[in-house]
Amino acid sequence: MEKPLTQHIVPGRPPLSLKEYEQVGGYQSVRKVLKEMTPAEVQTLVKDSNLRGRGGAGFNTGLKWSFVPMGDDVPRPKYLVANADEMEPGTFKDRLLLEGNPHQLIEGMIVASYAIQADISYVFLRFAYKLAAQEITKAINEAYEAGYLGKNILGSGYSLEMHLHTGVGRYMCGEETALLNALEGKRANPRAKPPFPQVSGLYGKPTIVNNVETLCCLPHIVNNGAEWFKGLSRNKSEDAGTKLYGVSGKVNKPGCWELPMGVTVRELLEEYAGGMKNGYKFRGALPGGASTDFLVEEHLDVKMDYNSVAAVGSRMGTGTMIVLDDQTCPVGFVQNLQHFFAQESCGFCTPCREGLPWVEKVLGSIDNGTGKQTDLNILDFHTKYLGPGNTFCALAPGAMEPLQSALKYFREDFERHIHEQRCPWRS
């Protein structure tokens, strides 16, 4: 099984230095694109590879790049931003790449920057990733010293600046336009679209924002080709490549693994996460972080790819699964998530600003034994009122996904709380 993203990452060992990275083929893709390929050819290659964004949306990366205006008469500078603000609860895949092989990210960013002819690039990093900040800073400095960054890279005539920017810690910065506002020193509110960042992004200039894992795929696609990348997936179609999958919860071996796109939920839980711990049974799982709908036992053989998970009413999201067991209260589980989302709302639009705290309060009443049957109607209403199309960005609709699916699959647990006027999971 090929593992291009993690083949040089060894837990407990420092990441490869620049010299070590070059010895295993590092920066060969940069040499190739600068000397042998035009920006348009790089865009076409990535588009043909079917690389879909690994941040959760799953949009075709090459197609996203194609919306950036090209030519000598377009506004300058152009920007590329690596979204390393990994604050989705239950998600830790990018941290593995950031800490384990920062040169791979830098190489991918250079390839992406060349493809859109960006002049300046940023790594927008989560504030809590202290070790990642240290390793990225070191790697960027090494890349400058070796001539992979700066003026006239490798004598190609192409120049690129790269900077690390550490955020102050807001979940909202995972939304690309809110990230750009934060990068400009403004409040992290999302922007209206259009215009889209590809045309008017950072400081009003053309900008691409890509996820860390997405960017780390690029050197391997350039070196090995689109068909090779598609062949890594079990589907060999729209959902190409490998994927970093994670599992957390009451399992024997929580962790993160690089696997072919399209492994099943059952394989992740039983083969890689080692099954449920003794005394615990599986009840459900959020397949891609906190803002996805629950999958339950009937979905164990669903393939973990964008299309298959969507077909059963959820989203693959980041591919990092949070497991709900039979000894954890689903009401308290969901209330904890709603507390996070309510706290992280930017407050820009009324449904999100007012609705999420109200949802959290209603869930709290049910959980502590003071809930009423009508509270379920209130929650049902909010799952629609805060759903897609009713808020300025996707934060509130994402927050409603675990709630609406919990009301669907675990409604008897909510009703039992109300009927017994207590939480059955508390002694």
147 with 28, same domain: the answer is yes
The residue-averaged pLDDT of 97-110 equals 98
286 with 406, same domain: the answer is no
Strand locations in 249-368 (E): 255-260, 282-286, 320-325
250 with 348, same domain: the answer is no
Q: What whole-number percentage of the chain has pLDDT above 70? A: 99
End of a domain among 201, 231, 261?
A: 231
Structure tokens at 283: 């009840």
Half-sphere exposure of 27 (CA within 13 A, CB side): 22
> In this predicted structure, what is the pLDDT of residue 81?
98
Q: What is the distance between the alpha carbons of residues 343 and 283, in angstroms, rounded to a whole number? A: 27
Q: For the segment 164-202, what is each residue's pLDDT rounded down to a tens digit?
A: 999 988 899 989 999 999 999 999 999 999 999 999 999
At position 369, the amino acid (one-letter code) is G
End of a domain among 260, 291, 325?
A: 325
Omega before 219 within 30 of 0, i.e. cis? no
At position 340, the amino acid (one-letter code) is F
Give the pLDDT band (50/70/90) at residue 237: low
Q: What is the distance between the alpha carbons of residues 386 and 351, in angstroms, rounded to a whole number? A: 6
122 with 179, same domain: the answer is yes
Residue 173 lies in a domain: yes
318 with 351, same domain: the answer is no
> In this predicted structure, what is the pLDDT of residue 165?
97
The 8-class DSSP code of residue 203 comes to G
Residue 10 lies in a domain: no
> In this predicted structure, what is the pLDDT of residue 427?
64
Domain that holds residue 309: 242-325
273 with 379, same domain: the answer is no
CATH of the domain at 338: 1.20.1440.230
Question: Which residue pairs from 310-316 have beta carbons closer than 8 angstroms and sit at least 24 positions apart in sequence?
Answer: 313/405, 314/287, 314/288, 314/401, 314/405, 315/56, 315/287, 315/288, 315/291, 315/401, 316/56, 316/58, 316/287, 316/288, 316/292
Does the pLDDT of residue 389 top 80, yes or no?
yes
Residue 124 lies in a domain: yes
107 with 206, same domain: the answer is yes
Residue 236 lies in a domain: no
Q: For the segment 407-426, what is each residue's pLDDT rounded down to a tens digit?
A: 999 999 999 999 999 999 98
164 with 29, same domain: the answer is yes
Q: What is the distance between the alpha carbons of residues 353 and 374, in angstroms, rounded to a whole number? A: 22
The residue-averaged pLDDT of 342-346 equals 94
Nearest alpha-carbon partner for 133 in 79, 205, 171, 85: 85
132, containing H or E segment: helix 130-146
289 with 393, same domain: the answer is no
Omega before 195 within 30 of 0, i.e. cis? yes
Report the number of distinct structural domains present in the chain. Answer: 3
CATH of the domain at 150: 3.40.50.11540
Burial 197-228, CB ≥16 within 10 A → b, else e:
bbbbbbeebbbbbbbbbbbbbbbbbbebebeb
Nearest alpha-carbon partner for 89 in 405, 399, 379: 399
405 with 266, same domain: the answer is no
Residue 249 lies in a domain: yes
Q: For the segment 194-226, what is each residue's pLDDT rounded down to a tens digit?
A: 999 999 999 999 999 999 999 999 999 999 999
CA angle 384, 389, 392 (to 5 degrees): 110
312 with 339, same domain: the answer is no
Residue owning tokens 């599992």: 247
Compute the mean pLDDT over every residue in the chain, rounded to the nearest whole number: 95
Residue owning tokens 């990018």: 94
Output the pTM of the full model.
Answer: 0.95
Residue 128 lies in a domain: yes
209 with 108, same domain: the answer is yes
Q: For the segment 266-303, what is each residue's pLDDT rounded down to a tens digit?
A: 999 999 999 999 999 999 999 999 999 999 999 999 99
